[in-house]
Chain A
């Protein structure tokens, strides 16, 4: 019976919702309108691709007129977000921005940019800005920075490529030189080896030949000497024999003279002795003269003959050299070919040759680099954000105000007088509004997908989890508001303020990271925060479905707490 009352209440709620055109508008069309307005307006902030083409007008004056300036100009013109006005002068560029306000930013490509870049110097692009258009200026500045970066990267890449090519050529040449040197060294070593072998082979032959020649010369010399010596010997021998006879006679005379000399000495001594005292008076005997030494006495002087004999003997000895051990001096060694040390040229790393460029690349949830940070579709934030906001507004109207209306109309009293306790009405209303809120979220997400191309994440079905959780928490929160507010006039502003605050702090209208840290911590006490965390994880961060488990659980927890508090308050208020 009581479950039937709950079911009938749900049926009745759906009938009421169907008839409530204002409520339906607030549930579905109003959020879509607000989402569209917010999404298109704020797309610029989040860097998504929802901004129309040519959204930003820039005035450009190319004062450089060089290749780099033209490249910059071409790059600016190729940006889909930018519409270019070609200014004719620097003052006109400034005027287009600050006076006529036709352009968000004025860009001056300074003269000498090409020259500076070509010679490795830095160059600047001058920019006129309108401080009021800060966000647009930032966006364009980022675009220009990215352009400059791309151009720098391109130039560096080209230089790096050229350097690498030249390095490769140089390395090749060095390799060739190294090969040639190695070849030459090898050839020299081969020749040295051949030379050593030839020398080793020729030296004994030379020695033998020399020894043979020497031996022959010696023999012929000896023969000539022997012949001459023999002739001389024979002549000398003949002369000597003649002189020897004379000398022998002289020698005999001298021997006898020598004996007579002795005898005279002896006689003279005896004479002196017999002269007694008168010996001193005896005059000295005459002195016998000596034979002069160079007196050619013929055979008396035999010394040269002997010398000739000795000389012959010595010559014989000299010419009778047992064996000439020819000790030829060693040939100087084959000069060593010095090892040509051609240094190894390391393989040139282009990134070392030219300082590399530092870029940023985003990593997606699968760990894959996906290039520059791309921002996100603003509707990925606005659709869930405003869906949650209008869900809560729907709960304010559908639960809080509806309960107060039922109280004021007297239908609540009538139902309570019937066999339908208050809890059946509350349960039926909460369930109906939960289902409506859940369907509202699904419809708004579907509309967001069809109209604004929002991301539904890896697993679209996972979005149902946080959607159900916030629908439950929101419905239960509506019960609290209904119990606290005494009248419709009291509930409406207070409820609206509370809901708007919850939505704002919870990150429904802007990323919660925009908020100061203390506010982010306060936001943890709000279901909107957890709902947006789950939606952001699934839709923008592209995380797995499991990422929504904790935030959804927290919101179901909020829902349970709100229900307990709400029922207690409602029982006191309406019971």
Chain B
């Protein structure tokens, strides 16, 4: 067994036609470590995971799993690899157990071992009572849990999870986290791709911020958040769009680039929390009505914003981003 990093990316580059998807991405993930790959959609997370899982080949650079280069030793490297793709890579008309058995056996497991492991994983993800139900009858969260279990069937040393919690309910999310943490505790090296800042903060030992195919920063959540400063932040949603410079006159407040498609919102850094009432009052006057506001301490989102100049948000839901002049 390789004693070094289970996952190693070395100067990975990938172009899709004219578009540069990855631009010299390098990082490692050690056994027992959960590393978050955090970035907005299109940042290069899925391309990175696709290269590391051997689904696509990089234009240059190397991807190593358990010390084996995917290009040189695909069988050994893939045998140590467990992929949990963003899509629900399941056969809808097979049962949960049949899905697990199939993927386990495809990884070389004997039928008896696969059955034992499948039963264990189903219990772990809370689906043991649905083992013989066909997957198409499952809820989204149950499918996500089963999706993760399939990727872990063969005790992989390196696990790649691509947005594993998209669209899941809190209960399933908690189950997923538990499974991931258990896998890490069992010595697995986990690369966890997400654009959910909270997940990365909650789950990951280390976070890699990626944007436009480049790693903009990596470190622990505290290290990265520190890059964003210490000022509290407020996000306000109003009935009408706030005019540019609406917060001028409030001392120590800085307007951040921020836009929400459905509704009108703004974000500010505050000098102190005492400025919150005044900011809300001004926003209410100029934006007709404040629909909601959120005050928080700096987080990874702020760090990302600080580092890239644009926000890190879930573009898969209702939000969109644009670069605003500072």
Contacts and interface: CB of A to CB of B under 8 A. Distances in A.
A15 B135 CA distance: 13
Contact of A413 (B78, B81, B85): B85
B319 interface: no
Contact of A410 (B54, B81, B87): B87
Contact of A416 (B55, B86, B150): B55
Interface stretch (B103-111, B235-243, B246-254, B303-311): B103-111
Contacts of B102: 8, 11-12
Interface in B122-157: 134, 150-151
A418 interface: yes
Interface of B: 50, 53-55, 74-75, 78-79, 81, 83, 85-94, 98, 102-103, 105-108, 134, 150-151, 160
A413 B134 contact: no
A16 B93 contact: yes
A358 interface: no
A411 interface: yes
Given A414-B85, A416-B55, A409 B91 contact: yes
Contacts of A4: 105, 108
B150 A414 contact: yes
A419 B79 contact: yes
Interface of A: 1, 4-5, 8, 11-12, 15-16, 19-20, 408-411, 413-420
A19 B90 CA distance: 14
B90 A419 contact: no
A52 to B, nearest CB: 42
B90 A417 contact: no
B205 to A, nearest CB: 24
Given A16-B93, A19-B93, A416-B55, A410 B103 contact: no
Given A414-B83, A414-B85, A420 B106 contact: yes
Contacts of A20: 93
Contacts of A12: 91, 94, 102
B61 to A, nearest CB: 18
A5 B106 contact: yes
A409 B54 contact: no
Contacts of A414: 83, 85, 89, 103, 150-151
A419 B78 contact: yes
Contacts of A418: 78, 83, 103, 106-107
A411 B94 contact: no
A5 B74 CA distance: 15
Contacts of B87: 408-410, 413
Contacts of B54: 416-417
Contacts of A411: 89-91
Nearest to A19: B93
A8 B104 CA distance: 11
Contacts, number: 75
Nearest to A9: B106
Given A16-B93, A414-B151, 15 more contacts: A5-B106, A8-B102, A409-B87, A409-B92, A410-B89, A411-B90, A411-B91, A413-B53, A414-B83, A414-B150, A415-B103, A416-B53, A417-B55, A417-B85, A418-B106
B75 A410 contact: no
Nearest to B57: A575
A416 B54 CA distance: 7
Nearest to A408: B87
A19 B103 contact: no
Given A5-B106, A418-B103, A419-B108, A413 B98 contact: no
A419 B81 CA distance: 9
B55 A19 contact: no
A419 B105 CA distance: 11
Nearest to B151: A414
Contacts of B79: 419
Nearest to A11: B102
Contacts of A410: 85-89
B107 A413 contact: no
Nearest to A1: B108
**Residue picked from A11, A415, A417, most chain B C-beta under 10 Å:** A417
Nearest to A412: B89
Contacts of A16: 91, 93-94
Nearest to B70: A417
Contacts of B160: 417
A418 B55 CA distance: 9
Contacts of B150: 414
Contacts of A408: 87
B78 A417 contact: yes
A417 B91 contact: no
A417 B81 contact: yes
A413 B83 CA distance: 9
A431 to B, nearest CB: 16
B102 to A, nearest CB: 5
A439 B86 CA distance: 37
Contacts of B88: 409-410
A413 B94 contact: no
A15 B53 contact: no
Nearest to B84: A414
A401 to B, nearest CB: 13
B68 to A, nearest CB: 12
A15 B93 CA distance: 9
Contact of A417 (B83, B93, B98, B134): B83
A414 B99 CA distance: 12
Contacts of B81: 417
**Residue picked from A5, A12, A15, A413, most chain B C-beta under 10 Å:** A413
